[in-house]
Amino acid sequence: MNNHEIDYKLYGDDMQFVEVELDPQETVIAEAGSLMMMDDHINMETIFGDGSSNNGNGIVGKLLGAGKRVLTGESLFMTTFTNTGTGKRRVSFASPYPGKIIPMDLSEIDGKLICQKDAFLAAAKGVSVRVEFQRKIGTGFFGGEGFIMQKMEGDGMTFVHAGGTIHKRELSAGETLRVDTGCLVAMTGNVDYNIEFVGGIKTALFGGEGLFFATLHGPGTVWIQSLPFSRLASRVFASAPQRPGSSSKGEGSIAGGLFDILGGDRR
């Protein structure tokens, strides 16, 4: 085992947090801002990258590993929490918005997990958190949330957060599943992944489901969320009171935006 072996317990239902139990000198890494609470004798330290050996040795390797995280929209830094005491200590991390925390033992899924760029919450020290570039050029230009994803490798525990209800789907060899790009949370490393255009100008303009979806080919395991944060945020923004003289905000499809451009009035 290359990763620290941490124990954990999940609390809550729709606004969950995970409590990680650390033995002396055990360490957990987490995204900046995810801490909820911690016991005494836990040392908190900000580091470049994820602290794993995959980032290379020396300051250059650390800078390269941290710099890749900027491409995913994450911070340059991560935070480590180490138990410096003599007994067991606990540290807890909270979900950023309503949903579920999914515990993943990487040793049980061939040591690799690919997830949305904002899904990672925390992991045992030694787990590598890096950028996953898609192989196909169409994914790169048109994938939206699916263009750049995070790749977690190792043999330890990692915790992923997703919005709404989580559905785990096992894909058999040759089986294909099409998913809204925002609803795709994570998948095992053996799933073949691409982005496809929905097809049809009427569907693209008036369908309200976006222009692209993720096409997943088995075998492998896929985790899907019912409420992507981008969808939740857009609904909240669309429902917010408008300032006097401001235009109304379309929602659901490009047609809403065209209606506003043409000076339409929904009142």
The structural domains of the chain, with segments of one domain joined by +, span 7-227, 232-261
pLDDT of residue 65: 56
pLDDT of residue 248: 46
201 pLDDT more than 60? no
- Fold for domain 7-227? Double-stranded beta-helix (3.60.160)
- Measure the CA angle with vertex 116, ends 110 and 121; round to 5°: 80
Q: Who has greater pLDDT, 262 or 69?
A: 69
Q: What would the two tokens of residue 3 be?
A: 């990763």
Check the CA dihedral 8-79-98-157 and report its sign: negative
CB atoms within 10 A of CB 96: 15
Name the residue among 110, 105, 117, 112 with its Cα closest to residue 159: 105
Model's pTM, two decimal places? Answer: 0.77
The pLDDT > 90 percentage for the chain reads: 42
Q: What would the mean pLDDT of 171-193 be, rounded to a whole number?
A: 92
Q: φ, ψ for residue 107 (rounded to 5)?
A: -65, -20
pLDDT of residue 17: 95
- Coil vs helix vs strand at 32: coil
Whether the ω angle into residue 103 lies within 30 degrees of 0, i.e. cis, is no
- Strand (E) or helix (H) holding 236: helix 229-239
Q: What residues contact 72, with CB distance under 8 A and at least 6 apart? A: 117, 131, 148, 149, 150
Q: For residues 80 and 109, give the distance between their C-alpha atoms in angstroms, rounded to a whole number.
A: 24
Over residues 2-21, the pLDDT tens digits come to 678 899 999 998 889 999 99
Most confident of 52-66, 100-114, 186-200, 207-221: 100-114
Which amino acid belongs to residue 49? G
